[in-house]
Amino acid sequence: MNYALHILVYFEIYAIFALSLNLVVGYCGLFTLSHAGYFAIGAYTYAILSVSKGFAFLPATLAGCLIAGIGSLAVSLFAWRFRGDTFVVATLAVQAVIFSTLNNWFSVSDPVGSFSNLTNGPYGISAIPHTRVWGYSTDSAIAMLVIGGVLLCVCLFCFQRLLASPWGRLVRAMRDDELAARSLGKNTRLVKVQAIGIACVTAAIAGSLYAAHVRYIDPSLASFNENILVLAMLVVGGTGNLRGPLVGAALLTCMPEVLRLIAFPDALSANIRLLVYGLTLSILMHTRPQGVAGEYRLQ
Amino acid sequence: MRSGLQLLVNGFASGCATALLAVAFQLVYLPTGVFFVAIAAIYAVAPFLLMSAVSRGIPVWLGIAFSVTSCAVLALLTEWASHGRLSKLGASSTVHLVASLGNYILLVQLIAIVWGNNPFTIRAGLDTTAHMGTVVVTGTQLTMIVVALIVLGGMFLLLLRSNIGLRLRALAENPMQFALHGFNANSYRLIAFGLSGSLAAAASLVTANDVGFNANSGLSPFLVAVVAVITAGRRSLIAPVVGALMLGILRAQVAWVWSSRWQDAVTFGLLVVVLLIWPEGILAGKSRVEAST
């Protein structure tokens, strides 16, 4: 039972993460490979503040959102000038810089969270305290499920309202024809900054939730493979609407459990899971580039 | 002074291997527009193929030929099964990129399933060294430099002096017009992929002899090669070689001055700076990037 709850919490975390990526990829039409970096920023901020300063969930998450929001300007700056492959490579550079910083900002002789050992480098941060919300410690899987569920619903509601608003229509107009949107007097640069900022802040929320639930994080959260995982969720589920990321997160969170039913050798199960991800990505690009439940075809 | 020269040689040697991979990437990217991520998996499989061949009693030179040919075939297969079909469907560059990512993951996991996730080495025992004045050059570094010079020299002869090269460059300039002149663009795409696969294998084999290899060892050199291409200039076949050599020397300096842990951060930091100041690359002519995107 506890295991099933764990899987559900993972679904909630990755659904929020995929929703945030969908705003950039599916609504802005900007294919980014740096999103896992912002997920990791949220997770690390939460972990550092809760371990070294005793912060509770909400203030630590808010701090993570603030840092991710400011950091999102790195991607926005490139979004102003580039599209297509150049933008992809630029975001990859942002991801690599975030990963290297998390991996290298450590000194074994100093306590975790101090300036000289901020991230504890490749050793990661362990024993992250149980989440506290308004003074209540939430050390059970059900409590995490409720918190994750509430956050997912809040994110879904906010995204739905935002994307149904004139701002949401402007974002889609910019995606479909940026020049036309600019010719109508719309400030597309500002819209990109706003959309990427919101997406990175939402990714940081998912990262905080991840750190609070798993209670151990390391720089692999910002790795290329983590990017691939969330990208696979988005591409499989579909882009350009709110259903797609939810479907993708559900499918790819459940896939390892389904594969578990087939008696693969333990040593190969991780490889087979990734192999299925790769195969799925490749086949979907040929058969259904908008994903299982998406509306927007990747451009 | 001595350490400076030594670092220059070390950087130049690793830059040579990066140059091979950068040209391999560029060979596909220029004529087809495909961001060929799967080449990182082809790079990863090359030393495994050589190792398997040698372990079955095949001579090393034949094993190298087998590995290079197999990698070329693998690259052709990705074009035939994936990118060629996507191009016929009119897929965008992002769709090609995602498909190539999928192919990369698929191939790397197949490598891991067949050969395992453990690291391997080709070279046994200590490397030989040669003293050139105050500078020490290892046998592996010498191999890297000589192989890169020969292979790249041959490749540029092919691309700049032969009809095939001329047609590949024409395909890169304007694929539609190329087809309208009666050339079969698909066959030339296949040639580009085949050449790219064999160059990636050459880059991989010289590097594996130096630092070893595993199933996931292709991604990091691939990303460095892409940085070399983007920083030097995306519209040229020669610029990536210069970019790779510059990056090799820079990374060697970073390892000496700070730590090898910061090599990637500096490499990608450089990419960020270059993209902001020279969006078309350091060696490219001046043009607004919006015009081409």
Query: For chain A (length 299 residues), average pLDDT per consecutive 10?
Result: 86 95 92 93 95 89 96 90 84 89 87 86 88 73 89 95 94 91 91 95 95 92 88 88 92 83 76 87 87 74
Worst-scoring range by mean pLDDT, A81-95, B50-64, B75-89, B149-163? A81-95
- Give the per-residue pLDDT at B112: 93
- Give the per-residue pLDDT at A183: 92
Residue from B101, B117, B276 to probe the interface with A (highest A Cβ count within 10 Å): B101
Interval B89-116 mean pLDDT: 91
Residue B224's contacts (CB-CB under 8 Å, 6 or more residues apart) are B18, B21, B244, B247, B251, B267
Taking CB atoms and an 8 Å limit, are B289 and A82 in contact across chains?
A: yes
Most confident of A248-262, B13-27, B115-129: B13-27
Q: How far apart are CA B11 and CA A138, in angstroms?
A: 53
Interval B13-38 mean pLDDT: 92
Q: In terms of pTM, does the model score above 0.90?
A: no
CA distance to partner chain A, nearest, from residue B45 (Å): 15
Q: Give the one of B92, B269, B272 whose C-beta lies nearest to A299's C-beta.
A: B92
In chain B, where are the structural domains located?
A: 2-215
- Give the per-residue pLDDT at B212: 84
* Cβ burial, residue B177 (10 Å; 0-12/13-18/19+): exposed
* Cβ burial, residue A134 (10 Å; 0-12/13-18/19+): exposed
- B103-136 burial string, b = 16+ CB within 10 Å, else e? bbbbbbbbbbbebeeeeeebeeeeeeeeeeeebe
- Minimum CA–CA partner of A104 in chain B: B261
Three-state secondary structure call for residue A239: coil
CA distance to partner chain A, nearest, from residue B174 (Å): 18
Contact A140, A134 (CB under 8 A): no
DSSP assignment string, A136-161: EEE-SHHHHHHHHHHHHHHHHHHHHH
Q: Which amino acid is at B264?
A: D
Taking CB atoms and an 8 Å limit, are A90 and B272 in contact across chains?
A: yes
DSSP assignment string, A74-119: HHHHHHHH--HHHHHHHHHHHHHHHHHHHHH---TTS-TTBTTBSS
Contact B231, B247 (CB under 8 A): yes
**CB contact A259 to B (< 8 Å):** no
**CB contact A81 to B (< 8 Å):** yes
Rounded to two decimals, the ipTM of the complex is: 0.85
- Give the per-residue pLDDT at B125: 66
Q: pLDDT digit string (tens) for B219-247?
A: 889 999 999 999 988 888 888 899 999 99
Q: pLDDT digit string (tens) for B88-98?
A: 888 888 889 98
* Closest to B209 (Cα-Cα) out of B150, B143, B129: B143
Report residue B287's pLDDT band, with 50, 70 and 90 as the boundaries: low
Contacts of A286 in chain B (CB under 8 A): 82, 85-86, 89, 99
CA B41-B64-B78 angle, 5° bins: 30
Contact B105, A227 (CB under 8 A): no
- Give the per-residue pLDDT at B126: 67
Report residue B169's pLDDT band, with 50, 70 and 90 as the boundaries: confident
Q: How far apart are CA B71 and CA B24, in angstroms?
A: 12
Q: How far apart are CA A65 and CA A112, in angstroms?
A: 21
What number of helices (H) and strands (E) belong to chain A?
Answer: 11, 2
Distance of CA B53 to the CA centre of its chain: 23
Contact B209, B54 (CB under 8 A): no
Is the pLDDT reported for residue B20 higher than 50? yes
- Minimum CA–CA partner of A91 in chain B: B272
- Give the per-residue pLDDT at B175: 82
CA B89-A236-B78 angle, 5° bins: 45
